[in-house]
Structure 1
Amino acid sequence: MASIDISNLKKTKKKPAGTPESVASQITALFEKDFSFGGSGLADEKKEYLYLELGALLRAGVDFKSAFELVASGQKKPQDAALFNRILQDVVEGASFSMALKGSGKFTLYEIYSIEIGEESGQLQQVLADLAYFYKTKITQRRTIISALTYPAIVLSASVGALAFMMRFVVPMFSDIFRRSGGELPWITQKMIAISDGFGLYGGTAALAVIVLIAVAFYYRNTLWFRDYASRIVLRTPLAGPLTQKIYLARLSNAMRLLINARLPLLRAIILCRQMIGFFPLEKALAVIESDILSGVPLHMSMQQFAVFPPKMIQLIKVGERTNQLDAFFEWIGSQYVAEAELQTASLSRIMQPVIIIILGIVVGVIVIAIYLPLFQISSNIQ
């Protein structure tokens, strides 16, 4: 197919910032934005856009230079446009696309070696499509979780704030009235006043301790001992543990499918997945699996010694090894875990909402009862 020159195509004009359409799009973009807190990599949304658009343009017969220029022109941030233009300049000067990505320092080895295999095998377009699908799945998982947990998180935060306000200001105000009135207070009122007094005395210290713990966790977040300890806690947490396991198993399966489909050796695929998976139990398991495969142990037999891999997944990989269809079985496993993770996330959201409301109602009801019981006694004594 002959190459298509699109260098002379005109860009579409943007709508004025004050139009209703632009305001709505800005609000939508705010919720879909991928925030980066000090990370050195490129946002997942931008990687998906790069691989999807570049692959589509190459399949349409556009030459690489024109296709990449068009992708770079779609970047809104100057630093992103500069990054893409620098990559294109490296390619124009003779570097391969994979080496240009590596030189930018913004892409993982998983992406670099996948594209390198695609360049060597003449399947770059397929590799780009697979990478776009991988990041699309990853983004969808993250957005599903955020969407499902946003409402419960807002309700929980508002509830904690309201209870803290009542315990810090409302209950002490009534406790002064009760103390001046004299008489024996109901048991529930005494306990509520004691909790309120403790909140006033130690609330600031407790808040400071929480802030210190968060700061320590943030500081040590990349150390092996902290990642090991934190992952153990997460996996043992009801509901959240199985959900986290399925999300990372789906990510591992999709990555293995892509690498094996790109004709990368199994051992090399495992090494790359270990470097990019970002979940300590899987990283630890894959490090041992690498050594076992070098010793001639089949993949499914090496996976059996780790509880992070479910028996069903191991059996499917065993069949994939015997039939020489590991890529197909990893694709099936990944799609299954993605569907299960989305279903479990939605179920978790549906469970959390009424539970939070019920707990909040019980706590507020106890506080109201503790406040009004002495008021009833005071009114009866006056009569």
Structure 2
Amino acid sequence: MPTIDLSRYEKKKTTPPTQKGNQGGLLAFLNKDINFGSKELSDKKKEFLYLELSSLLQAGINLKSSFELITASQEKEKDKQLFQDIQERVLQGTSFSQALEKSGKFSVYEIFSLEIGEETGKLTEVLQDLAKFYQNKVKQRRKIVSSLSYPCIVLCTSMGAVFFMLEFVVPMFGDIFTRFGGQLPWITSMIISISKTMEGNFLPAFLLCAAVAGVLRYLRKTERFRKTVSGLLLKIPLAGNIVQKIYLARFCNSMRLLISAHIPLLRAISLSRQMIGYYPIESSLQKVEDDILQGHPLHQSLQQFSIYPAKMIMLLKIGEESNKLDYFFARISEQYIDEVEYKTATLSSMMEPFIVIFLGLIVGTILIAMYLPMFEMSNSFH
């Protein structure tokens, strides 16, 4: 079997792990394609590629014809050109994994797995595993977004209605009350004051928010910012646990696929660290690599970090002792995916009534504040 040059799979020094982007809003984060790089193919397109290619190869169609069929089915010219370029490189004698690497659209994780598949004669099996990996990833994200989309839409719509009332409706009533004179109820005065403050400071507030967003976008690449934000995110009740389980599921699923492809444990951890994109796990894996080099078992190395639950550590310990780590990583990943879906549905069901009640109180307070002086004026005329 030819020797694999592992050195070329190391992450380039110009983009160390601590320079990756961090979380934005929760919904944006959950709906985001984690592509291990900003220029990579989307998860959905990768799922399609690996699923179609594995099915065609399994049916006995050669790689050239399979790629021709896949290329012909592409609707976007950009995707069609990408697959044509890969096909041409393969026809020129480049291996499939190297052709994907030269395109710059695929992760080290995929390239390394596919190279192992080529050299062991199990390319179809590796393609099926990659297809399943991205299929589960896309499915999980869709379920999460589906659960959170309704409450978020309700929240945004209601906040828009409140902004409209404070910006346009309240000033109209304020002008009317000013003409009539007299003492306004304290609640009415407070609402009118808030409306005038918003009207007079809308542009500065908008510019300030834009400036803060720009600063955060710049700082999000720094290690200290990533560490702080991820730590705060984990402390948010329920939502923090969901984020933790999402990344743990992805880490376990990645490790399952890499170990199933007979990649050494140390190399599998190194590749997972490069692609995980979540500071608590990413930083811990660097220390885990060092511990394993010193002879410590995986479960013992992970045990020193609070991000890994005790149950996960115990299952991995059993996996190491029985030499079935890939099986236990798969079990843990499936369990966390199920937990994320359940907790996301729970979060959604909890958010809906609270949003309705909270915004109902705000709108009701504004309406009462506007109509209270009218009632008082009506009574004074009688």
- Compute the TM-score of the two structures, normalised by the length of structure 1: 0.88
Q: Distance in 1 between matches of 2:357 and 2:32?
A: 33
Residue equivalent to 2:22 = none
Residue equivalent to 1:16 = none
Q: How does 1:112-127 map to 2 (within 5 A)?
A: 112-127=111-126
Residue equivalent to 2:378 = 379
Residue equivalent to 1:73 = 72
Q: CA deviation at 1:34?
A: 7.4
| Higher mean displacement: 168-177 or 298-307 | 168-177
Per-residue CA deviations over 1:333-382 (Å, capped at 9, x if unaligned) read 00001111111111211221221111111111111111111111111111
Per-residue CA deviations over 1:168-207 (Å, capped at 9, x if unaligned) read 1211221222233233222222222222222222233222
Q: Distance in 2 between matches of 1:61 and 1:177?
A: 80
Residue equivalent to 1:172 = 171
Residue equivalent to 2:279 = 280
Residue equivalent to 1:253 = 252
Residue equivalent to 1:200 = 199
Q: CA deviation at 1:35?
A: 12
Residue equivalent to 2:4 = none
Q: Distance in 2 between matches of 1:33 and 1:270?
A: 23
Aligned partner of 1:322: which letter? E
Per-residue CA deviations over 1:264-293 (Å, capped at 9, x if unaligned) read 000000000011111111110111111111
SS for the counterpart of 1:222 is: coil
Let me know the Cα RMSD of the aligned residues: 1.9
Q: Distance in 1 between matches of 2:290 and 2:122?
A: 30
Q: Distance in 2 between matches of 1:362 and 1:159?
A: 11
Per-residue CA deviations over 1:125-157 (Å, capped at 9, x if unaligned) read 111011001001111122112222222222111
Q: Percent identity?
A: 53
User: Are the equivalent residues in 1 in contact too, given 2:54–2:127 (CA < 8 A)?
Assistant: yes
Aligned partner of 1:317: which letter? L
Moved over 4 A (4+): 32-36
SS for the counterpart of 1:340 is: helix
Q: Distance in 2 between matches of 1:64 and 1:374?
A: 78
Q: How does 1:25-44 map to 2 (within 5 A)?
A: 39-44=38-43
Residue equivalent to 1:26 = none
Q: Distance in 2 between matches of 1:107 and 1:223?
A: 25
Residue equivalent to 2:331 = 332
SS for the counterpart of 1:183 is: coil
User: Are the equivalent residues in 1 in contact too, given 2:97–2:114 (CA < 8 A)?
Assistant: yes
Residue equivalent to 2:293 = 294
Q: Distance in 1 between matches of 2:77 and 2:377?
A: 70
SS for the counterpart of 1:128 is: helix
Q: CA deviation at 1:96?
A: 1.1
Q: Distance in 2 between matches of 1:343 and 1:303?
A: 26
User: Are the equivalent residues in 1 in contact too, given 2:249–2:336 (CA < 8 A)?
Assistant: yes
Residue equivalent to 2:187 = 188
Q: Distance in 1 between matches of 2:82 and 2:327?
A: 35
Per-residue CA deviations over 1:222-271 (Å, capped at 9, x if unaligned) read 33233222212221222221111111111111110000011100000000
Residue equivalent to 1:19 = none
Q: Distance in 2 between matches of 1:105 and 1:285?
A: 27
Q: Distance in 2 between matches of 1:177 and 1:58?
A: 76
Q: CA deviation at 1:220?
A: 3.5
Q: Distance in 2 between matches of 1:222 and 1:85?
A: 35
Q: CA deviation at 1:321?
A: 0.7
Matched, 1:233 2:227: no
Residue equivalent to 1:91 = 90
Q: CA deviation at 1:121?
A: 1.4
Q: How does 1:309-348 map to 2 (within 5 A)?
A: 309-348=308-347
Aligned partner of 1:91: which letter? V
SS for the counterpart of 1:200 is: helix
Matched positions, count: 351
Q: Distance in 2 between matches of 1:44 and 1:368?
A: 47
Q: Distance in 2 between matches of 1:211 and 1:159?
A: 22
User: Are the equivalent residues in 1 in contact too, given 2:34–2:43 (CA < 8 A)?
Assistant: no
| Higher mean displacement: 227-236 or 109-118 | 227-236
C-alpha spacing 1:68/1:33, structure 2 compared with 1 (3 Å): farther
SS for the counterpart of 1:203 is: helix
Aligned partner of 1:81: which letter? K
Residue equivalent to 2:243 = 244
Per-residue CA deviations over 1:268-326 (Å, capped at 9, x if unaligned) read 00000011111111110111111111111111111111111111111111111111110
- Compute the TM-score of the two structures, normalised by the length of structure 2: 0.88
Q: Distance in 2 between matches of 1:129 and 1:138?
A: 14
Q: How does 1:133-144 map to 2 (within 5 A)?
A: 133-144=132-143
| Higher mean displacement: 373-382 or 176-185 | 176-185
Extract unaligned runs of 5+ from structure 2: 1-30
